[in-house]
A and B are shown apart, each in its own frame.
Chain A
Amino acid sequence: MFPYLKADENQISDIINNTTSCQVEQVLSSERPDFQGFLSLLSPVAADFLEAMRQKAQVNRLRHFGRTVSFYAPLYISNKCVNSCKYCDFNINHKFDRKDLSLDDIMLEAQALKSQGIDSLLLVAGEDPKGVTIEYLEATAKILKKLFSYISIEVAPLEESDYKRLFAAGIDGVTLYQETYNQPLYADLHPAGPKRDYMYRLSTHLRAGKAGMRNLGMGFLLGLYDWRLEAASLAAHSIYVRKHCWRSKIQYSFPRITPIEDQFEVPLPVNEKELEQLMLAFRITFPESDMTVSTRETAEFRNRIIQTCAANMSAGSKVTPGGYAIEADKDVGQFSLNDNRSVSEVKRDIESLDYEPVSKYWDKLFVCD
């Protein structure tokens, strides 16, 4: 569990599992659930209230985000990695042709994305202290900021001073998943490499927030452990981060593990209905927080979830360095994708649902220099 929570795992589990339908109804008729109310929305009993939860979530979604859907695309700049996360296809023990992109390559990729109508980027790299250095990230940010309004990064945890440099170079947000909040499991899944340090990872958002980052992306990997307990931890973690980094906005992601190679058996898979319940619980409890849904999920699911929960989504994603332009035909990525619509197809579908796709939702004029 998130270590600063007052209750332990058994107590949280008891609350979730002993929730009654009367309590779920009570929470759904309240203006805003408290933490216990949130736990009851995660309960097995609440699964029978999915339609009522959809309605309540949709009210929040529309009130806070209107009928707009904002877009981003991930840009993988390196798949070199020194970690050995058992569930990840970038695992150091997997033998495949790895690469990190030069600044010229990055620019080619970026232009390909830009031509598809993407204006917001998520910059992704594995943990590679020799290749993916702060100088490399800084230089990347500076050239990309000429093309894109908004850039966030999903790379290994950094020091506050490094986040400050990246913020000054044009990075607006930091996304980092705890993977699992269960500490013994975390130790087991990360047998080697710097990522083994659970607490350092856990405090990443505080460092990024203190450095000025506007958006802090949080989440865990769905499928590693009991999703209900992980969700309780994520909620507590985000409340904690929000208390300390009150100038930063939280964005939740709910990535389900979708490994490409058969080398990892997902211990506790989360099905689509459970994923929806989880996202609804967060939208009902945290009406003003951002929520995103990636192309790991199917087009049908994404079309549904953007109407009740997520107001942000990726589109046309490639999850390998060079996937957009350099080796567009050869996409062997970090995980497998289930929505292969192009950006324009996604936008067309969104419009047909009577929502407005928004590509630009930030401006680069906010960069310091």
Chain B
Amino acid sequence: MNDLKIADHIFKNRLFLGTGKFSSKKALEAALEASETELVTMAMTRIDLDNAQSDNILSAIDHDKIKVMLNTSGARDAAEAVRIAHLGRSAGYNWIKLEIHPDPTYLLPDPIETFKAAETLVKDGFIVLPYINADPVLAKRLEDVGVHAVMPLGSPIGSNQGLQTECMLRIIIEQACVPVVIDAGIGVPSHATQALEMGADAVLVNTAIATAENPAMMAEAFKIATATGTMTRTAGAAAATTAANASSPMASFSMDIFAEGTV
């Protein structure tokens, strides 16, 4: 597999990290380092843009190595999310994880408000990655308005239940013309491997790492698991062209048949 490209940014590592729920700045730094991640999300509600130097999360991140994507979580509707995004832009952040969940229990994303906000934010020139339920039609509608990737959930956020939405995720992956990042519900490293093998372009993990007994070690386990899924895909592609020892590929039906950059 080639490197992942979202908007104009190239990622070698397909493991993205959320930065919430860590016990300390030190624990976050250790996890970031062990994961070798190149993209993290940060909730606007958690960071102190006025005091960036001393802020626990912001100062933990090496901005030269790691792309920062602002998360609009906390927003309950499109207007709030758009306001948060513009606040972030004034501080120099243009990548938005669009997350709108009016429901405080399961934190499930609101498809209608997310769609409205995505339209506005794309028009306003943001790089927009919406967090959505595993709804293939919504994913295509968002793609049509110009989002730069879609981030469907595997199961409710923070639940560690894995890829419960598998059959819908498979449809999203099959139909997508933008990268698919599986976000939420990934509880153990094998879930990340499974996501990549299924054809996802990346995974976003937070709770499973932040709340592990040893977050740094768990971050490394996720790094390896993601790399394993990526490597499996590459190995599968090789097998597809040497039929003599081809076994039935595990991959989804349409994945990886087109040359890079043609879809």
Q: Do A and B bind each other?
A: yes
On A, residues with C-beta under 8 Å from B are 4-7, 11, 14-15, 18-19, 23, 26-27, 30, 32-37, 236, 239-240, 242-244, 246, 285
Q: Once the chains bind, are A34 and B253 in contact (CB under 8 Å)?
A: yes
Contact B249 A34 (CB under 8 A): yes
Inter-chain contact B258/A18, CB cutoff 8 Å: no
Query: Given A37-B248, A242-B175, do A6 and B258 touch, yes or no (CB 8 Å)?
Result: yes
Asked whether B44 is an interface residue with its Cβ less than 8 Å from the other chain, the reply is no
Interface size class of B (residues with CB under 8 A): 20 to 34
Report if B240 contacts A (CB, 8 A): yes
Closest residue of A by beta carbon distance from B257:
A35
Instruction: Report the separation of the CA atoms of residues A79 and B234 in the bound assembly, to the nearest whole angstrom.
Output: 50
Most buried by A among B246, B257, B258: B257
CB-CB nearest in chain A for B245: A18
Of A19, A36, A37, A240, most buried by chain B (CB within 10 Å of CB) is A36
8 nearest A-B pairs in the assembled complex, by CB-CB distance: A4-B262, A18-B243, A34-B253, A15-B243, A11-B241, A6-B259, A246-B140, A35-B257
A-contact 0/1 string along B20-46, CB 8 Å cutoff: 000000000000000000000000000
**A–B pairs, 6, beta carbons within 8 Å:** A4-B262, A6-B257, A15-B240, A18-B244, A236-B258, A243-B177
User: Are B257 and A5 in touch, CB under 8 angstroms?
Assistant: yes
The one of A7, A11, A35, A240 that contacts B263, using a Cβ cutoff of 8 Å = A240
Q: Are A32 and B248 in contact (CB under 8 A)?
A: no
On whether A26 and B248 interact (CB within 8 A), knowing A239-B257, A242-B175, A246-B140, the answer reads: yes
Q: Does chain A have a CB within 8 A of B176?
A: yes
B251 at the interface (CB under 8 A from A): yes
- Please state if B241 and A27 are interface contacts (CB–CB under 8 Å): no
Most A CB atoms within 10 A — which of B177, B237, B246?
B246
| Interface pair B246/A23, CB less than 8 Å apart | yes
Binding site for A on B (CB under 8 A): 140, 174-177, 237, 240-244, 246, 248-249, 251-260, 262-263
Task: Return chain A residues, CB-CB under 8 Å to B254.
Answer: 34-35, 239, 243
Asked if A23 contacts B248 (CB within 8 A), the reply is yes
Residues of B within 8 A of A30 (CB): 248
A7 touches B240 (CB 8 A): yes
Task: Please measure, in the bound complex, the distance between the C-alpha atom of A27 and the C-alpha atom of B249, giving whole angstroms.
Answer: 10
Q: Given the known A-B contacts A4-B263, A34-B251, are A14 and B257 also in contact in the complex, defined by CB atoms under 8 Å?
A: no
Closest CB of chain A to B202's CB: distance in Å? 19
Contacts of A244 in B (CB 8 A): 177, 263
Minimum CB–CB distance from B199 to chain A (whole Å) comes to 10
Q: How long is the Cα–Cα vector from A56 to B251 in the complex, in angstroms?
A: 21
- State how many angstroms separate the Cβ of A209 from the closest Cβ of chain B: 12
**With a CB–CB cut-off of 8 A, which chain B residues contact A19?**
243
Q: In the complex where A7-B240, A244-B177 touch, is A34 in contact with B259 (Cβ < 8 A)?
A: no
Q: How far is the CB of A244 from chain B (nearest CB, A)?
A: 6
Q: Which of B140, B243, B252 has the most CB of A within 10 A?
A: B243
In the complex, the chain A residue whose C-beta lies closest to that of B140 is A246
Chain B residues whose CB sits within 8 angstroms of the CB of A7 once the complex forms:
240-241, 257
CB distance from B3 to the nearest CB of A (A): 16
In the bound assembly, the distance between CA atoms of A297 and B159 in angstroms comes to 57
Determine whether the beta carbon of A35 is less than 8 Å from that of B253: yes
B193 CB, min distance to chain A CBs, angstroms: 19
Measured between alpha carbons, how far is A285 from B252 in the docked complex, in Å? 12
CB-defined contacts of A33 to chain B, threshold 8 Å: 253
A32 near B241 with CB under 8 A, answer: no
Q: How far is the CA of A285 from the CA of B174 in the complex (A)?
A: 14
Complex: how many Å from CA A35 to CA B259? 14
- C-alpha spacing A128/B71, complex, angstroms: 56
Asked if B243 and A14 sit within 8 Å, CB to CB, the answer is yes
The CA-CA distance from A244 to B178 in the complex, in Å, is: 11
- Look across to chain B and name the residue whose beta carbon is closest to the beta carbon of A238: B254
A285–B243 alpha-carbon span in the complex (Å): 19
Contact B257 A243 (CB under 8 A): no
B253: chain A residues at CB < 8 Å are: 32-35, 37, 285
By the criterion CB–CB under 8 Å, are B246 and A15 in contact? Answer: yes
List A contacts of B257 (CB < 8 A).
5-7, 35, 236, 239
- List residues of chain A with CB within 8 A of the CB of B263: 4, 240, 243-244
Q: Are B175 and A14 in contact (CB under 8 A)?
A: no
- Which residues of chain A come closer than 8 Å to B140, judged between CB atoms? 246
Known: A14-B241, A18-B243, A23-B246. A4 touches B251 (CB 8 A): no
B175 is contacted by which of A6, A32, A246 (Cβ under 8 Å)?
A: A246
CB distance from B168 to the nearest CB of A (A): 14
B-side contacts of A246, CB under 8 Å? 140, 175
Complex Cα spacing A11 to B237, Å: 12
The one of B243, B244, B248, B256 that contacts A6, using a Cβ cutoff of 8 Å? B256
CA gap between A19 and B242 in the complex, in Å: 10
Shortest Cβ distance from A286 into B: residue: B253
